[in-house]
Structures are given as structure tokens and as C-alpha cells.
Structure 1
Amino acid sequence: MSDRNPEALLTANQVAHSWAGDVFAEDLRAADQVRLAFGLLDLLDEYWVTCEIRFANESAEGPLPADVLWDGYRQRLEADRESEAVTYSLWVDWFEDHATSATAFAEVLGNDIDRVAAQLSEAPLRRARRVLECSGPVRWTVKEPTYRTAMRLPDLHSAVFRGLLASFHDVYGDLEPAAALALLDRLDLPTGTQHLAALRHVLAAGHENHYRSPGAWDDAVRSRS
């Protein structure tokens, strides 16, 4: 309800904008503030809650306790129900910022990809898929070793492909064409996978990014039609 109009119901987005920042003013230990913020995120599933978490991490009182912060992300990336707010937050806030992308990528997947590949547990595999798919902005030198390890698991091949595709198409996407093509050629993908032939074409031509090679993608699509 709204303070101005007690009978008016607020949307989840309005609640997030009104209250998420106040979590970090509560008289609680920083770790408990983070847990409370993630609880609010679970309740509202609104991206703005993740913004307030990031603001608090970068504030004068920050950074937030890293173990609690990244465990909160990992838990939600492993959940049965995908939270678009969580993956969007990783993509546009943590991964697109080169000051934070390496740490964020390592914390949510890079540090334990070997264990994920060895144990084959469904929840960590869900996390791996979701992180790989939004990893386009992460620097190639940071994510390539994780891509290579993920390729041990056929169940992750489609996610690696979507990561490569995002690495080319994202405004801040990053890849090394020859190395990316070598990975692409090793993927076992369904016949007729959309965009596969065009991606192979632009990588073979040495293009690094859609926005740095205007027209290259359209030319690739036309050449395959």
C-alpha cells in the first residue's frame, strides 16, 4: 500500500523502488542486510533490488561481504525457477563493467567449473547454463578457460554456443575470432541450430563484434540463404 493512499496497492516494482534501499539502513550486520535484500528479491523478483545491492556494495560503507553476496547469486542461479532479475543483473551490471566482470564471473562459475563438470549435479549445471548464456561481455581471456571446461559436458554445449553468440552480438561482447571458431567447431549442436552458420561465417572472416563490423552479420546471413 502507498503512504499517500493507504488503499492503493503498489506493484512489485514500486515496492522495490520504495523499500529495497532501506534494507541497507537496517540495524543489522552487513551480512544479514545482504541476506535480507536477497529475501526481498525472492519475494518481488524485481531487478531494482539487485541495483540496490550493487549500490550498497559500492557505497562508502561497502564493499559487502563477498562470501554472502556471491553465495546469494549462486543460490538463485541454481534454483529451479529462473530469476530474470538475477541473470539480467549479472549481464548488465557485473559483467559489462570491466572493473567487476572478472571477479563476478569467477565467483558465479569460473572458480568451480571443474567441480561442476566433475560432479554433474543438476543445480550447479543450471547455474552454469545461465551464467554461460549471459557471459558475452566478460573478457575473452577470463571466460575462455571456463568455456573449454564446460565443453566436456554435452549438456552445456548449447549454453556455450549462446555464450559465443552473445560474445559477438552484445555491445560490450568480447571474443577472439580464431579461438572462438575453434570452440564452435567442437560443439555438438542440433541440426539446423539457428545462427550457427552465420556465426561460423563471421568468425572465420575474423570479425570480433557485431558493432565493430557493421554489416558483417547481415552479409553472413545472406550468404547462407
Structure 2
Amino acid sequence: MEKRAEEAARRWLADQGVRRARDGWVSDDKPETLLTANQVAHSWAGDVFAEDLDPADQVRLAFGLLDLLDEYWITCEIRFANEGAEGPLPADELWDGYRQRLEADRDAEAVTYSLWVDWFEDHETSATAFAEVLGHDIDRVVVERSEALLRRARRVLECSGPVRWTVKEPSYRTAMRLPTLHAAVFRGVLASFHDVYGDLEPAAALSLLGRLDLPTDTQHLAELRHVLAAGHKNHYRSPGAWDDAVRCSAAGTPRRREQASCRPD
């Protein structure tokens, strides 16, 4: 499916006079100027949604461009079109496009970054976005356990920090049924504390951490437990709390931590 979408995008760009050349791209208008993938994305991706195509085909073509160019800007154009005068885009095609790329055995940084900053950090869209890319079928993930589904789950969990705790906690708890997802759940909770828009409930998050099977030397585990035990919800709303936790973790033994006044408040 993705390969077909990529080939369709390549043909569409060729129709616009844009083609691969050497280590970049060139246009018929300026064949002597080598363009980067980012420049191609900024110059042509928005035109996809001006094509005389069914909206679902426009979405598929845009995701094909994303496969071809691997540039975050294309996801911006997708969201602009979704929020524009002709929007919203067909939800089935929109979210299926995200799910397919989250499941693919290839780099998904542009997709996960888009979820994080464009959909999850906006509380008007985060609940819907999270449900579409994981929440609705987390039970299927833990039952089927296919590599593709697990890959999607890991990627979504790890960038889910800004999603409201009440929205994501059920999926976190379901994901905990699979030890292979425990590290991703941990990173999700860690991001929930550190992201400027992160959201968590300290007591519930601490309880969840206590049920994760993680190596005892997991980086930042001790510090995260400390700030949660002290009732802190977010790095930016509790200035200095994380630095205190780092100091206390470095203090070493329980006696030394007590001497350093490192008991949670």
C-alpha cells in the first residue's frame, strides 16, 4: 500500500515537472538548481489539495509524498487541509494514513513528530488523535501481538506525553499486559512529566511505574519515582523538582538520601 502511494506521488511530482536528480531533486523550470526534499515539500505538497481529486485520493497522495520525501512539512499541509475551508479530510483515510506509517518497518520520525506537536499537544485534537492511532484498538494490539501493531503501539506510547492522563491511562494499563511494551509505557510517563504540555496524575502514574518490569538501572527511573512521590505533575510547573530528584538519586544509599533531605515532601 505504502509503496503504491509512493509511486503515485513520484508520478504526480513528475507531472509537476519535478524529478530526482543526483542527490536531490530538480524542476523543469530551473533544471540547473538542485533542490532538497524539504524544498520540494514546501513548494509542492500544498498543491496536492488543489488537485481535482476525491478528498480521500488527495489524502492518499499526500501520504505518498510523505513516504517519498520523508519531510515533516507534508504532515503540516495535511493538517492545514483538514482545518481549511474544504475540510475536514475524510477521517478514515487520514488516520489510516498515520496508522500505516506508524506500523511500517522504516523510520517514522516525521509521523511521530507530527502526532506529538500537531495533534497531541493541541487538547482540542489530542483525544481523537490518540484514540485513532492507538486507543481504539489497544486491546487488539495485546491480543494479536504482531510486529507491526507492537511497533505502532511503541511509537505512540513514547510520544503520548501531552495527551490528557484520563485519555491515555486506560491504554497505558492495557499495554502493561505485554512486558515488551513496558519500556514504551515508561517513556510515555516520563514524557508526560517533562513535556511542556505533559499531563499526568502523580499517584496513578507512580502506581503504574511500580507494576512495570524494568531494569533497575533504567535511566531516569529513580528520579521519576521521586518527583511523582512528591506529588509533582509537570517539570515546568515544578521548577527545580527534577534537579532535586537528580541530586537525591546521586546521593546513593537510603541513609545518605535521608541525610541529604531527599525524602519526598
Length-normalised TM-score, structure 2: 0.84
Q: Describe how 1:14-25 pairs up with structure 2 within 5 A.
A: 14-25=39-50
Question: Which residue of the partner structure matches residue 256 of structure 2?
Answer: none
Question: Which residue of the partner structure matches residue 77 of structure 1?
Answer: 102
Q: Describe how 1:153-192 pairs up with structure 2 within 5 A.
A: 153-192=178-217
Question: Which residue of the partner structure matches residue 205 of structure 1?
Answer: 230
Question: Which residue of the partner structure matches residue 223 of structure 1?
Answer: 248
Which digits, 9 at most, give the CA deviation of each residue in 1:15-36, with x for residues without a partner?
Answer: 0000000000011000000000
RMSD: 0.8
Question: Which residue of the partner structure matches residue 137 of structure 1?
Answer: 162
Higher RCO (CA-CA < 8 Å; seq separation 6+): 1
Equivalent of residue 117 in structure 1, options 129, 142, 157: 142
Please say which structure displays the higher CA radius of gyration: 2
Paired letter, 1:94: W
Which digits, 9 at most, give the CA deviation of each residue in 1:21-64, with x for residues without a partner?
Answer: 00000110000000000000000000000000000000010000
**d(CA) in 1 for partners of 2:121, 2:43:** 26
Paired letter, 1:45: D
Equivalent of residue 107 in structure 1, options 100, 110, 132: 132
Alpha-carbon distance, 1:9 to partner: 1.2
Gapped regions of structure 2 (runs ≥ 5): 1-25, 251-265
Equivalent of residue 86 in structure 1, options 92, 111, 118: 111
Alpha-carbon distance, 1:3 to partner: 6.1
Alpha-carbon distance, 1:6 to partner: 2.1
**d(CA) in 1 for partners of 2:174, 2:204:** 14
Q: Describe how 1:4-23 pairs up with structure 2 within 5 A.
A: 5-23=30-48
Which digits, 9 at most, give the CA deviation of each residue in 1:62-117, with x for residues without a partner?
Answer: 00000000000000000011211000000000000001000000000000001111
**d(CA) in 2 for partners of 1:222, 1:143:** 30
Matched, 1:55 2:84: no
**d(CA) in 2 for partners of 1:193, 1:28:** 50
Matched, 1:128 2:153: yes
Gapped regions of structure 1 (runs ≥ 5): none
Q: Residue 63 of structure 1 aligns to a residue in which SS?
A: coil
Question: Which residue of the partner structure matches residue 33 of structure 1?
Answer: 58
% identical aligned pairs: 87
| Number of positions where the alignment pairs a residue of Structure 1 with one of Structure 2 | 225
Question: Which residue of the partner structure matches residue 262 of structure 2?
Answer: none
**d(CA) in 1 for partners of 2:107, 2:138:** 20
Paired letter, 2:54: R
**d(CA) in 2 for partners of 1:212, 1:2:** 49
**d(CA) in 2 for partners of 1:141, 1:82:** 29
Question: Which residue of the partner structure matches residue 193 of structure 1?
Answer: 218
Length-normalised TM-score, structure 1: 0.99
Paired letter, 1:184: L
